[in-house]
């Protein structure tokens, strides 16, 4: 049902190198006119049945976080292990794309890239609970 369109080849500090498979190269035209890209990827280390049955988590990287439902968390353990990140486009050389802010581990399959549209996607005043502000961004 899902197709992998690419892979995270390497991660060095904040910078990730993504390779898009040649058969999807035509889909990249015009990508360089956007400063930020939404990347959907596959949490391949959590595709086992046990991880996909998790419905409640206690986000341990966020001190003081309560137990919450997976849909109120960014946990990789969830019914559909799809990762989401807004990334900064740094550079592209053909099908090799460098981005900042992609929180996917090396080897993660890429599912989709979408342009980030601030008119639709940026809500700087969105309200969040206190625990999300402690620890990492996601």
Burial of 93 (0-12, 13-18, 19+ CB in 10 A): exposed
Considering the complex, what minimum distance in angstroms separates the CB of residue 28 from a copy of itself? 5
94 binds a copy of itself (CB under 8 A): no
Nearest to 77 by CA among 56, 99, 108: 56
15 binds a copy of itself (CB under 8 A): no
Go through 3-42 and write b for each residue having 16 or more CB atoms within 10 A of its CB, e for each that does not. eebbbbeebeeeebbbbbeeeeeeebeeeeeeebbbbbbb
Considering the complex, what minimum distance in angstroms separates the CB of residue 90 from a copy of itself? 13
Identify whether the C-beta of residue 8 lies closer than 8 Å to the C-beta of residue 41.
Answer: yes
Choice between 10 and 35, CB closer to a copy of itself:
35
For residues 45 and 6, give the distance between their C-alpha atoms in angstroms, rounded to a whole number. Answer: 16
115 binds a copy of itself (CB under 8 A): yes
For residues 68 and 73, give the distance between their C-alpha atoms in angstroms, rounded to a whole number. Answer: 7
Considering the complex, what minimum distance in angstroms separates the CB of residue 119 from a copy of itself? 5
Binding mask 21-60 toward a copy of itself (x if CB under 8 A, else -) reads ---x-xxxxxx-xxxx-x-x-----------x--xx----
64 binds a copy of itself (CB under 8 A): no
Binding-site ranges for a copy of itself (CB under 8 A)? 1-3, 5, 20, 24, 26-31, 33-36, 38, 40, 52, 55-56, 66-74, 78-80, 82, 84-86, 101, 111-129, 132-133, 137-138
């Amino acid at each position: 049902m899902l197709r992998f369109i690419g892979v995270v080849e390497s991660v060095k500090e904040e910078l990730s190198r993504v390779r898009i498979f040649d058969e999807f190269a035509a889909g990249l035209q015009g990508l360089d006119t956007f400063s930020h890209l939404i990347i959907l990827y596959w949490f391949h280390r959590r595709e086992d049945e046990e991880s996909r049955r998790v419905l409640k988590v206690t986000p341990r990287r966020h001190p003081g976080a309560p137990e919450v439902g997976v849909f109120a968390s960014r946990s990789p353990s969830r019914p559909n292990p799809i990762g989401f990140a807004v990334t900064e486009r740094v550079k592209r050389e053909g099908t090799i794309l460098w981005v900042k802010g992609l929180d996917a581990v090396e080897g993660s399959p890429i599912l989709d890239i979408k342009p980030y549209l601030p008119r639709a996607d940026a809500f700087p005043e969105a309200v969040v609970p206190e625990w999300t502000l402690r620890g990492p961004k996601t």
